[in-house]
Amino acid sequence: MPRSQNSGFWSVKSGIFLLPPSYRNGDTYPNEKKRTELERKRYGTCSLKNGLDRTWTCEELEENIITKYSRHADILRVTGVLFAKLESSSKQISVHRFLPLQTVAELEAMHGSGVLVLLFRPPDVVQQDLARLWECDGMTIGHLNCQSLPPKIDELRLLLFRTNVDVMTLSETWLKRSIKNDSLAVAGYRIVARRDGPEKSMYTQHPRGGVMVYVKEELEERGIHAREYVYDTSLEVVCVELDFDQPMKHRKSTKESGQTTCKGRGRASAAGAAAKQPERCQQRNVLRILDVYIPPGTRDQISALQKLHSDISDLKEQAQCRPLREQGTPENVQEDKGTKCRSSKGAGGTTKGRGSSSKGQKCRCKTQYVILGDFNCNIQDADAAAEQRSTVEAKLRTLKEIEDSCHLKQLIKDPTRTARRKYESKGKVNVSETTIDLIYTDGNAKVRSGVIRVSLSDHFMVYCSVTVPGGKKKNVCKDKKFTGNRDQEALRKFSSQYPRSKINKNVFHLMKNRDLAHANGEWDDYDRLRHEVKRLT
């Protein structure tokens, strides 16, 4: 590689070439005719007499280069610069992502000889996703397939500080029974529900599966009480119930009450119900959140989905009613604790029966549902699978039956898992995009949803925001606004809460670049950055 006489400088062969904003990573380098047209618009080659000082950091390099392109300097300072190289065999542009404190010497070592290509930095799609989440009103609920929680717990903590969701559900936690919740604690959140998967699976001798739910402690202060709603199931599913507008005289801290265990799917015995007829309905507003993980495997998935269908149907037939007696006493409150009323109309319906008073008053309890998780059924295959009778078609048909018969609506449309598989022997690379992390709601509330392209695993995070029962006065997220330095605020908060963590400013920058490379399909950079984050944390 040619160098100037001063060994402290790197002289790039054929100069440095700036391309217009339309060029992206993976595009083909312009031919000679096209380069002539670009140079007339003051793009193209920039000559540096002394080359590039090897001691410059990437930030200093960027600033020095921007000054050489005076016509585009203003926009370049706003967008930033990406450093890329030209692949000599394919003439494709390959982007490099660096930490701000890395130097030109490190850029030279990775780049090698050839043309150093500069690109306008494209919009940060991950930041755009985060901005949309921060702008959501109502109760925000997220889901992430984390693929082994213990080694990623610090990154999850930082992610929760960055997203500020009210409820975070996880799948594939891969937890051993010996791992206590204390080691998985997140400041400002508490673990409301946890269900571990099998200690050994048919594929490995290590734990697999598992679901867990974190709920923000702040909700308790706002009068929103979260507890695990236990019901009979053999699936990797947990149900968390958020109780709104519960009268003060019946309100009990979930820290004191613990779990609400409902044997026989939460139905009270007939004798108990007859002995405790309510005087009037308490008109409870409840949001039930089901965190679901359906393991892969064509043999058992259909039966698991059918069992999930049965569980959801049974849950939606119930509308809890914790009645108030006119002559309410602590003894009466204790007696009424387990009383239920069953709705013949489903969630949000009005019924008579056990929830009715002796005067025939109707139960006005309202229950909304959010069912989310990793279903391992790619809904993008629906059209193709419908044309053939196959196992894939049977799984998707079962999933559609759940949606239709339980009056649910699926919200997620974009891919939630993007992965690359290399076929070394064939010299081919296959990139797959699937939509398997899904969110279902029962349509009783206004809902916003989306995908956040963070790459803590090869699954992206999905989220929704649900209008809180009781109106705007219960809008727990009304103060949420996205600001440009929100990530820095999250990092400062994380560093103060977990001073022993290995995640610092540089590692955080690596993580953000890794997420962006994954979102943009820059696989070589993604692999390099992913391994670097693992090494440093």
Q: Is the pLDDT of residue 268 over 90?
A: no
Say if CB 207 and CB 459 are below 8 A apart. Answer: no
Average pLDDT of 43-52?
81
Residue 280: predicted pLDDT: 67
Q: What percent of the chain has pLDDT over 90?
A: 47
Q: Is the pLDDT of residue 440 over 80?
A: yes
- Chain segment 442-453, per-residue pLDDT in tens: 876 678 999 999
Of residues 204 and 74, the one with the higher pLDDT is 74
Average pLDDT of 410-421?
92
Residue 459: predicted pLDDT: 97
Q: Pseudo-torsion of CA 212, 216, 217, 218, nearest 10°?
A: -170
DSSP string, 327-389: T--HHHHHHGGG--EE-SS-TT--B-STTS-TT-PPB--EEEEEEEEE----GGGHHHHHTS-
Q: Is the pLDDT of residue 424 over 80?
A: no
Q: Is the pLDDT of residue 474 over 70?
A: no
Look over the chain and give the mean of its residue pLDDT values, rounded to a whole number. Answer: 81
Of residues 137 and 273, the one with the higher pLDDT is 137
Angle formed by the axes of helices 505-519 and 125-134, to 10°? 100
DSSP string, 470-490: T-GGG-TTTT----TTHHHHH
Helices H / strands E in the chain, number of each: 17, 24
Q: What residues contact residue 485 under an 8 Å CB cut-off, 6+ apart?
A: none
- Which of 533, 506, 504 shows the shortest CA–CA distance to 518? 533
Q: Is the pLDDT of residue 473 over 80?
A: no
Identify the residue whose tokens are 């308790």: 220
Q: What residues contact residue 107 under an 8 Å CB cut-off, 6+ apart?
A: 58, 61, 83, 96, 98
CA distances from 333 to 60, 278, 290 (A): 69, 11, 28
Residue 144: predicted pLDDT: 98
The Cα–Cα gap between 376 and 366 comes to: 31
The Cα–Cα gap between 411 and 372 comes to: 10
Q: Is the pLDDT of residue 318 over 80?
A: no
Please report which residue ranges of 406-537 form alpha helices under DSSP H: 486-497, 505-519, 523-536
Q: Is the pLDDT of residue 536 over 80?
A: yes
Say if CB 435 and CB 380 are below 8 A apart. Answer: yes
HEC string of 255-275 equals HHHCCEECHHHHCCCHHHHHH
Residue 232: predicted pLDDT: 72
Identify the residue whose tokens are 């599913």: 237
- Chain segment 502-535, per-residue pLDDT in tens: 999 999 999 999 999 999 888 888 998 999 999 9
* pLDDT tier for residue 392 given thresholds of 50, 70 and 90: confident
* pLDDT tier for residue 338 given thresholds of 50, 70 and 90: very low
50, two tokens: 């002394």
DSSP string, 103-153: BHHHHHHHH-SSPEEEEEPPP-HHHHHHHHHHT--SEEEEEEE-S-SGGGH
The whole-model pTM stands at 0.81
- Chain segment 361-382, per-residue pLDDT in tens: 567 778 899 999 999 999 988 7
289, two tokens: 């959140």
Q: What percent of the chain has pLDDT over 70?
A: 76
Of residues 13 and 537, the one with the higher pLDDT is 537
Q: Is the pLDDT of residue 8 over 70?
A: yes
- Chain segment 76-106, per-residue pLDDT in tens: 998 999 999 888 888 899 888 888 888 999 9
Q: Is the pLDDT of residue 491 over 90?
A: yes
- Which of 240, 258, 267 shows the shortest CA–CA distance to 321? 267
| Ranges 163-177, 287-301, 457-471, most confident | 163-177
The Cα–Cα gap between 199 and 207 comes to: 4
The Cα–Cα gap between 212 and 442 comes to: 22
* pLDDT tier for residue 469 given thresholds of 50, 70 and 90: low
Q: Is the pLDDT of residue 412 over 90?
A: yes
